[in-house]
Amino acid sequence: MTSFKMKATLAALLLAGSMVPAVSAETLKIGAIGSLSGGGTAWGLAIKRGAELAVDEVNKAGGLKVGDKTYNIELVMYDDQYTGQGGKTAAERVVFQDKVKFVVGPIGSNPVLSTMEVTTPQKVLLMSNGYTPKILQNDHKASYNFRFTLTNIEFAPSMMKWVKDNLKLKKVGILVPNDAIGQSVAPPLVKLYKESGIETVVDYYERGSKEFSPLITRLMAAGIDGFDINFNAPGEAGLMVKQARQIGFDKTILQMGGPSVPEIIEVAGKQAEGFISYEMVDFDAPAVVPFVKAYAAKYGAGIMNSQTPAFYNTTKILFEAIRRAGTVEDTTKVRDAVEGIAGYDAGIYGPVRWTGMANYGVNHQLALPFYVVEVKNGKPVNRATLQVD
Amino acid sequence: MLSNPVVLGQIVVNGLSLSSIYILVALGFTLLFGIMRVVNFAHGEFAMLGGFSLYYLYAVFKLPWLLAIALVPFLVALPALLLEWLVFRWFYQKMFQSMIGLLGLNMAMIYTGLIVWDAFERNIPAAFDGIVRFGGVIAPIDRLVTIGISLLALAGFYFLMVHTRWGLAMRAAAQDVDIAATQGIDTRRIYKLAFVVAIGLAALAGALYGQIYAVSPFMGERPLFVAFVVVILGGMGSVSGAALGGVLLGFTESLLGTLYGGSVAAYASFGVVVLLLIFRPWGLLGKPE
């Protein structure tokens, strides 16, 4: 009986499946990969919602016109659990099961690298985030992938120039954890300061420690006039800001890393006043306000992080490239269209500009503007808009 | 650096504020060992529950801070009697079994916390925001309050142990549980009392620790680790030893951390513990067994 039921269901499914092509001729599936469970969920939701808002826009306008056909867009998303293995599994499902040719996401170096292992050989176009240089600097020269968010390689030189010109610092204290991460983060940062003529004092704390007062006292005794909380996780970074102020450090506290301004304000409270960091989006800018409204209308007034507009932007650039290439099948043509899309304005960040040749050997890195912010009355306030070189 | 009086003063203030937290964390730990011979590996997790209790009472339900902090020890210690009945009582006077058994309880509590609260660090807003200046030396008021509460807890604890019949009974049970029982002391009740006091102190320590730093299911690791070092320094089971150990560890971290950096401070703290275990394994104020 059970097996009869199963056969019947299978037959029904096959029947339904055979009817699909008539409809799907007008439907274009776009893949999305991101964390929908665990600690990275906020980032996965940012990908999903950013892409959904772009998809809604196109579908409401009657669909995406490619050549002489018009497509209704459908988003297919899978969870990568913020791991390499999860990214690979999600990529296999989206590429082999759903036969998708274009993927937005994921966020995070490990999921991105393992997703690329699946998408690149299949010539599936990947539009991702991720911090490691290997995403663009690899054997195949990022043949079928682009990066849509900045890393320290992009923003640090411009931000350092701004710090040098505006904060007039002479000696900066840097605290990093005494482990592989700290030891890899500190030297390039020290070098960058040195090139700007700013002295540095570096100290290491034991991972897991929450008390930084003795070390900050030590940095203060060394005569620092700036304290850089760099790439420390938001929890630790927030405590550093709080404790530095509590023991009377009244000079500049900045962050050549992040961005995690809201989290740091949450931990440091009033002590975050005057803290300087960078943000990816100016949520109060006129060009961003309609997007913020559309977001609130669809998802309520919850917190939106800066990855959401980034993936809205990514998805819109992808649609425009598909439209210009005039094909939904030939990903090589679409890739070339993405490369040649410079000047197109998707709404939030201004005209598209590609960079990366000097650092990675390929111009597949999106050059976004970014913002130096200072905390005033408990809120980040824009101090400068910077461009990536 | 030491010739600068402001830096020296800051080292003392930082040392005092660290010591006070360390003493509070270690007191309950040493009490459980002194009386029941239980090495409470789950100590940090009761501190974690204290941190979450203050988070809910003060940050979420907006109770006045003094009321919230006074409620925390009861909110954690009284329900914990269930764990005493389920787990702890089987390990009394069984030091080695207690280590393994309570390590298991520690894991269970951390991961239950993870399921309930997720791994995010939560912030309890500061109840006292300002700073006080003595000359050039600066002390945050929240740290001064912590120092005050630690002193109060230490004094109250001393009073309980030395000047009350309950304390006398606890000390008797600590010396020889069978003889104490033959003298008419209800050792089961005394154990429960000691358990409630110890867990209440852990919860209080965790609440203050969580407010100064942050609250998360993993926040108990550091307090447990500190309690261990402090208690080994001072002597397992010795209350005055916990106070001395806390002051020593707090000032070592502050002085060496400021003069030579974080790694040297950690290295020296452990170096002293190793030397002590070789030459005086019962600790500075403990008694040789």
Mean pLDDT on B179-191:
88
User: What pLDDT, on a 0 to 100 scale, did the predictor assign at position A225?
Assistant: 95
CA distance A238 to chain B (A): 9
CA distance A242 to chain B (A): 9
Task: Reply yes or no on whether the pLDDT at A23 is more than 50.
Answer: no
Mutation pick from A35, A207, A247 vs chain B, by most beta carbons of B within 10 Å, is A247
Nearest to B213 among A218, A239, A248 (CB): A239
Question: Torsion angle, CA of A158/A162/A168/A172, rounded to 10 degrees?
Answer: -40
What residue segments make up the domains of chain B, in order of their start?
Answer: 5-279
Does the structure's ipTM exceed the value 0.90?
Answer: no
Mutation pick from B8, B21, B213 vs chain A, by most beta carbons of A within 10 Å, is B213
Interface contact flag, A246 B17, Cβ < 8 Å: no
CB pairs < 8 Å spanning A and B: 91
Does A24-150+286-352 match A153-279+371-386 in CATH topology?
yes
Rounded CA-CA distance B130/B143 in Å is 10
Mean pLDDT on A297-316:
86
Rounded CA-CA distance A203/A173 in Å is 8
User: What pLDDT, on a 0 to 100 scale, did the predictor assign at position A234?
Assistant: 74
Q: Is the distance from CB of A131 to CB of A153 less than 8 angstroms?
A: no
For residue A184, the SS3 value is helix
Q: Which of these ranges, A137-146, A181-190, B222-231, has the smallest mean pLDDT?
A: A181-190
Q: Per-residue pLDDT tens for A107-154?
A: 888 899 999 999 999 999 999 998 888 999 999 999 999 999 888 888
Mutation pick from B123, B144, B256, B267 vs chain A, by most beta carbons of A within 10 Å, is B123
**Residue A39: closest C-alpha in chain B:** B119
- A-chain residues within 8 Å CB-CB of B265? 214
Rounded CA-CA distance A364/A356 in Å is 6
CA distance B8 to chain A (A): 10
User: What pLDDT, on a 0 to 100 scale, did the predictor assign at position A331?
Assistant: 96
**Which is the CATH superfamily of the domain at A24-150+286-352?**
Response regulator (3.40.50.2300)
- B-chain residues within 8 Å CB-CB of A206? 262-263, 266
Q: E-strand spans in A197-331?
A: 199-205, 226-228, 252-254, 276-279
What is the architecture of the domain spanning A153-279+371-386? 3-Layer(aba) Sandwich (3.40)
Higher per-residue confidence, B270 vs A124: A124
CATH number of B5-279: 1.10.3470
Task: Reply yes or no on whether the pLDDT at A43 is more than 90.
Answer: no
CA distance A235 to chain B (A): 7
Task: Reply yes or no on whether the pLDDT at A372 is more than 60.
Answer: yes
> A173 falls in which pLDDT band (50, 70, 90)?
very high
Three-state SS for chain B is: CCCCHHHHHHHHHHHHHHHHHHHHHHHHHHHHHHHHCCCCCCHHHHHHHHHHHHHHHHHHCCCCHHHHHHHHHHHHHHHHHHHHHHCHHHHCCCHHHHHHHHHHHHHHHHHHHHHHHCCCCECCCCCCCCEEEECCEEEEHHHHHHHHHHHHHHHHHHHHHHHCHHHHHHHHHHHCHHHHHHCCCCHHHHHHHHHHHHHHHHHHHHHHHHHHCCECCCCCHHHHHHHHHHHHHHCCCCHHHHHHHHHHHHHHHHHHHHHHCHHHHHHHHHHHHHHHHHHCCCCCCCCCC
- B-chain residues within 8 Å CB-CB of A220? 7
> A25 falls in which pLDDT band (50, 70, 90)?
low
Task: Reply yes or no on whether the pLDDT at A286 is more than 50.
Answer: yes
> A364 falls in which pLDDT band (50, 70, 90)?
very high
| Structure-block tokens of residue B169 | 């009974």
- B-chain residues within 8 Å CB-CB of A211? 18, 213, 253
Q: Per-residue pLDDT tens for B84-109?
A: 999 888 988 888 888 899 999 999 99
What residue segments make up the domains of chain A, in order of their start?
Answer: 24-150+286-352, 153-279+371-386
Interface contact flag, A205 B213, Cβ < 8 Å: no
Q: Per-residue pLDDT tens for A73-89?
A: 999 999 998 888 999 99
CA distance B163 to chain A (A): 36
Q: Tell me if the pTM is above 0.80.
A: no
- A-chain residues within 8 Å CB-CB of B126? 269-270
Interface of B with A (CB under 8 A): 1, 4, 7, 10-11, 13-14, 17-18, 118-121, 123, 125-126, 129, 131, 133, 138, 140, 142-143, 212-214, 216, 221-222, 253-259, 261-263, 265-266
**Residue A222: closest C-alpha in chain B:** B1
User: What pLDDT, on a 0 to 100 scale, did the predictor assign at position B208?
Assistant: 92
